């Protein structure tokens, strides 16, 4: 198969998987905020510039970091979006109520 076609398939699969993962994470974050009476905010899919946690895809890796003034600080790198979001969940709340797992 042509490398270009394979690349497009991988990119579209990654986009679909990330939307599913981000949706599940938003639900967990809302639950965490409600139970802790806090207002955690996360930039999903891009780098924040206001001190919020960020999760985004770059150079074939998922990056979790604190975005400030266009730079990512204290980055952690993951091959799987699911691992990245679980790491972020534990960083935000000490422990998420349920581990976010891949939809199979």
Say what the pLDDT of residue 9 is: 58
Quote the CA–CA distance of 15 and 2 in Å, as a whole number. Answer: 20
Say what the pLDDT of residue 21 is: 87
Q: What is the pTM of this model?
A: 0.74
What's the average model confidence in pLDDT over 23-50?
A: 79
Q: What is the largest CA-CA distance in the chain?
A: 52
The model's confidence at residue 35, banded by pLDDT at 50, 70 and 90, is low
Quote the CA–CA distance of 54 and 45 in Å, as a whole number. Answer: 7
Q: 42-60 pLDDT, tens per residue?
A: 888 889 888 888 999 999 8
Average model confidence (pLDDT) across the chain: 79
Share of the chain above pLDDT 70, in %: 75
């Amino acid at each position: 198969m042509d490398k270009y076609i394979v690349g497009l398939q991988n990119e579209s699969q990654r986009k679909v998987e990330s939307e599913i993962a981000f949706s599940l994470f938003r639900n967990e974050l809302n639950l965490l905020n409600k139970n802790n009476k806090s207002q955690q905010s996360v930039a999903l899919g891009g780098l924040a510039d206001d001190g919020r946690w960020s999760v985004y895809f770059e150079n074939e890796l998922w990056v979790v970091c604190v975005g400030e003034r266009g730079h990512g600080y204290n980055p952690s790198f993951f091959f799987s979006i699911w691992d990245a979001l679980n790491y972020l969940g534990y960083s935000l709340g000490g422990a998420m109520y349920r581990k976010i797992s891949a939809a199979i």
